[in-house]
Amino acid sequence: MAFLSGDAAICAEARAMNPAIATVETKEGCGASVLSLTPAEACTRIRAGVTAALAGDLSAHARPASDRYRLELRFSHHEMAYRRSFFPGAQLIADDTIRVETASIFDIARALVFM
C-alpha cells in the first residue's frame, strides 16, 4: 500500500508499519466527536497525496504475503459483537470483540464487508 487517508490514528499506525507510506489525515478523534477537514479540502489533499505517492518508488511498499491473517474487531456495544460472531469463522473472544483467523486475505476483506 502506497497511500492511505483517514483519521489521524490509522495514519499513524500505517506509518509505524510502513514508514514509506504517504498519508493524509482528514480527521482526528476527539471524544465522541471528530475534528475534520472540509470535504473540498480533504479531496484536494487526498488528490495531491495520491499523485505524489504514485510518482514515487512503489517497490518500497511491497510487503511479503503472510500465510495467516487475523482480524480483531472491537465494538462499542456488546450486542453488535454477538450478532457478528455468527459470521462463518468468527469467534467471540470477549463480550465486545470478535476474531477471524484465516489463510486468505480475501476472507478478511469479505469479513470486513459483512461486519
- In the structure grid, which three cell numbers stand for residue 46, read together? 487526498
Which pLDDT does position 83 carry in this prediction? 95
Which pLDDT does position 64 carry in this prediction? 81
Domain membership of residue 104 as a residue range: 69-114
Pair 16, 55 in one domain: yes
Task: Specify the residue for cell string 469479505.
Answer: 110
* pLDDT per residue as tens digits for the range 75-88: 999 999 999 999 99
* pLDDT per residue as tens digits for the range 32-78: 899 999 999 999 999 999 999 999 889 888 878 889 999 999 999 99
Mean pLDDT in the chain?
94
Per DSSP (E only), the strands in the chain are 3-7, 22-30, 33-36, 69-74, 90-94, 97-102
Which pLDDT does position 6 carry in this prediction? 94
pTM of the model: 0.61
Pair 57, 78 in one domain: no
State the total domains in the chain.
Answer: 2
Pair 52, 94 in one domain: no
